Amino acid sequence: MFSSYDQQWLEEQIETWRGYLRRRQAIRTADVAELEDHLRGVLEELMASGLAADEAFLVAIRRMGNLDALSREFAREHSERIWKQFVIGSVDQKEDTKRWTDAAAAFGFAILAALLVKAPALLESLWDVPAGFYIRNASLLIFPALIGYFIWKRKLPQSVILGLTAVFVAGVLFANVYPFHPAGSTESLTGMHLPIALWLAVGVAYTGGRWQDWARRMDFVRWSGELFIYYVLIALGGGVLTAVMTLIFTTIGIDVRPFFASWLLPCGAAGAVIVSSWLVEAKQSVIENMAPVLSRLFTPLFAAVLLAFLTALLARGGGVDISRDALIAFDLLLAVVLGLVLYSISARDPDAQPDMLDILQVVLLLSAILADAVALWAIVARISEFGWSPNRVAALGENLILFANLTGSAVFYARFLRGRASFSALERWQTAYLPVYALWAAVVVLFFPPVFGYI
């Protein structure tokens, strides 16, 4: 037996065949009816032997072609179209099934991330959550679900899974065994740098364990930028949702803000990481159109901001006095600039000829190098005046790493503009440099607390 869908499809195809015969010549209705009876008999015979409805129809009209010239012509004109229809339909059906499976898995891992984030609070009656626990362990609660999603999706080998597990076990140990001072500098540094170190593990999972392939590393860079875009969009939508919910529930005298603070915000923030990851891959063609637009829009804007800053600095004369908070903001700006350069590189066609955007990229890189030199000058001045501290050493190392990366990128980009190197050389430089950030972050997490006395 075959389904009602197959039966309906067969009737549609037989109607098409019958209309074809009637249109091509003045053929008697009785003759068409006789041929149709014969066609249906062949179909029943073929399906009884185990053929599917589509296969049976293709074979039947070809057999009919041996008896009737018009049927033979119909088979020649329509069999290829019918074959493509079923092949494509089968592929589309498989793709639809795959998309629904991916979506279900992504939302399942998103729920897992939300549960992991809330687990310490739910178990608070059994143990006292230490002060600063979430600062140090936020990434350890979210990233396992994200990596689990890629383990499922990429079908990672057991050796890679064991390696990733060892990395996270080490992260759990070093984030929790040190006797941190509450709200101390080393605790904050651990909370900021551990996600950077673990992001490399996410990259290994995303690339399917093929981290040595520089092209796969560039895919990871591209995916990271796209993930950020989707995450921000989801966050903006979540902000609108919470505002609307607060407004409507207030009208009936219910304060939902405690629910937002304790459940919706932490669970939503954690789950959105996995949902964003799924969206990046599911809607990749949309993002591929967004990436060049964003890079062309923000590259000249950031270059203008940095050039204006440097011009104002020279016009004012003298040194620069950057406080701790201002230095953090300054470093964040440089990190955003580096991210913009990476994102622009990942969105560019490596075989395309240099254009105005490439020149602007070099201007942006040179401006960022000079701005980073100003930041290094300010850091060294603070160290000479106030001495060594974990924050200053961490900032010094990060700015030195940024300076080397930006300088190397400017050199490779300039060589590309002059026709002395391919664009792939710049891509390889950027992807090869990524582990340096993770390595420095790991140094901060592993060694800064004992070296600086857990302050």
What is the pLDDT of the chain when averaged over all its residues? 81
Overall average pLDDT of the 243-262 stretch: 82
pLDDT tens across 355-405, in order?
888 898 999 999 999 988 988 888 888 888 888 889 889 989 999 999 999
Q: Which two tokens stand for residue 215?
A: 């092209």
Q: What is the pLDDT of residue 87?
A: 46
Q: What span, in angstroms and rounded, lies between the C-alpha atoms of 97 and 92?
A: 8
Q: What is the pLDDT of residue 92?
A: 47
Question: Are residues 277 and 319 located together in one domain of the fold?
Answer: no
Where residue 317 falls (left for φ over 0; alpha for ψ -120 to 50; beta otherwise) is left
In this prediction, what percent of the chain has a pLDDT beyond 90? 26
Instruction: Let me know: does 146 contact 109? Beta carbons within 8 Å.
Output: yes
Q: What span, in angstroms and rounded, lies between the C-alpha atoms of 120 and 142?
A: 13
Q: What is the pLDDT of residue 89?
A: 47
Classify residue 381 as exposed, middle or buried by CB count within 10 Å of its CB (0-12, 13-18, 19+).
Answer: middle
Q: What span, in angstroms and rounded, lies between the C-alpha atoms of 338 and 371?
A: 12
Question: Are residues 138 and 272 located together in one domain of the fold?
Answer: yes
Question: Are residues 379 and 295 located together in one domain of the fold?
Answer: yes
Instruction: Let me know: does 455 contact 186? Beta carbons within 8 Å.
Output: yes
Instruction: Let me know: does 390 contact 189? Beta carbons within 8 Å.
Output: yes
Question: Are residues 293 and 372 located together in one domain of the fold?
Answer: yes
Question: Are residues 295 and 377 located together in one domain of the fold?
Answer: yes
65 has a pLDDT exceeding 50: yes
Overall average pLDDT of the 138-150 stretch: 94
Question: Are residues 245 and 234 located together in one domain of the fold?
Answer: yes
Instruction: Let me know: does 168 contact 144? Beta carbons within 8 Å.
Output: yes
The total domain count for the chain is 3
96 has a pLDDT exceeding 80: no
Question: Are residues 217 and 297 located together in one domain of the fold?
Answer: no
pLDDT tens across 199-247, in order?
999 999 999 888 888 878 888 888 888 888 889 888 988 888 888 788 8
Classify residue 149 as exposed, middle or buried by CB count within 10 Å of its CB (0-12, 13-18, 19+).
Answer: buried
Classify residue 367 as exposed, middle or buried by CB count within 10 Å of its CB (0-12, 13-18, 19+).
Answer: buried
CA dihedral for 390, 392, 398, 404, sign (positive or negative): negative
Q: What span, in angstroms and rounded, lies between the C-alpha atoms of 409 and 362?
A: 9
In terms of average pLDDT, the best of 10-14, 127-131, 149-153, 319-323 is 149-153
261 or 19, greater pLDDT:
261
DSSP 354: P
Q: Please say which residue of 227, 262, 282 terminates a domain.
A: 282
pLDDT tens across 146-164, in order?
999 999 988 899 999 999 9
In terms of average pLDDT, the best of 45-49, 99-103, 133-137, 270-274 is 270-274
Q: What is the pLDDT of residue 391?
A: 87
Q: What is the pLDDT of residue 319?
A: 59
Instruction: Let me know: does 368 contact 332? Beta carbons within 8 Å.
Output: no
- Residue 49 sits in which domain range? 4-94
- Which helix (H) or strand (E) segment holds residue 143: the answer is helix 133-154
295 has a pLDDT exceeding 90: no
Cβ neighbours for 431, distance < 8 A, ≥ 6 positions apart: 214, 217, 218, 221
CA dihedral for 212, 216, 221, 227, sign (positive or negative): negative
Q: What is the pLDDT of residue 141?
A: 93
136 has a pLDDT exceeding 60: yes
- Which helix (H) or strand (E) segment holds residue 249: the answer is helix 214-250
Q: Which two tokens stand for residue 287?
A: 């993002």
Q: What is the pLDDT of residue 381?
A: 85
Residue 41 Cα distances to 28, 46, 57, 121, 279, angstroms = 20, 9, 11, 70, 49
Question: Are residues 245 and 302 located together in one domain of the fold?
Answer: no
Which contacts qualify for 95-100: CB closer than 8 Å, 24 or more apart?
99/282
Q: Is residue 435 part of a domain?
A: no
Q: Please say which residue of 220, 251, 282 terminates a domain.
A: 282
Instruction: Let me know: does 146 contact 202? Beta carbons within 8 Å.
Output: yes
Question: Are residues 301 and 271 located together in one domain of the fold?
Answer: no
Q: Tell the residue number behind the tokens 């992991």, with chain if given.
A: 116
In this prediction, what percent of the chain has a pLDDT beyond 70? 82
Question: Are residues 75 and 136 located together in one domain of the fold?
Answer: no
pTM: 0.72
Q: What is the pLDDT of residue 5?
A: 55
Q: What span, in angstroms and rounded, lies between the C-alpha atoms of 366 and 408?
A: 11
Q: Could you tell me the pLDDT band of residue 330, with boundaries at 50, 70 and 90? A: confident
Q: What span, in angstroms and rounded, lies between the C-alpha atoms of 106 and 152?
A: 10
Q: Which of the residue ranges 90-99, 255-264, 341-350 would you say has the lowest mean pLDDT?
A: 90-99
In terms of average pLDDT, the best of 25-34, 77-86, 263-272 is 263-272
Q: What is the pLDDT of residue 23?
A: 61
Give the residue ranges of DSSP H helices in 177-213.
Answer: 185-206
Q: Which of the residue ranges 77-91, 179-193, 263-277, 422-436 would you say has the lowest mean pLDDT?
A: 77-91
DSSP 207: T
7 or 170, greater pLDDT:
170
In terms of average pLDDT, the best of 84-93, 265-274, 334-343 is 265-274
Q: Could you tell me the pLDDT band of residue 179, with boundaries at 50, 70 and 90? A: confident
By C-alpha distance, which of 367, 250, 375, 239 is closest to 300? 367
Q: Please say which residue of 282, 309, 327 terminates a domain.
A: 282
Q: Is residue 383 part of a domain?
A: yes
Question: Are residues 383 and 303 located together in one domain of the fold?
Answer: yes
Q: What is the pLDDT of residue 182?
A: 79
Question: Are residues 154 and 252 located together in one domain of the fold?
Answer: yes
85 has a pLDDT exceeding 70: no
Q: What is the pLDDT of residue 71?
A: 59
Q: Could you tell me the pLDDT band of residue 129, with boundaries at 50, 70 and 90? A: confident
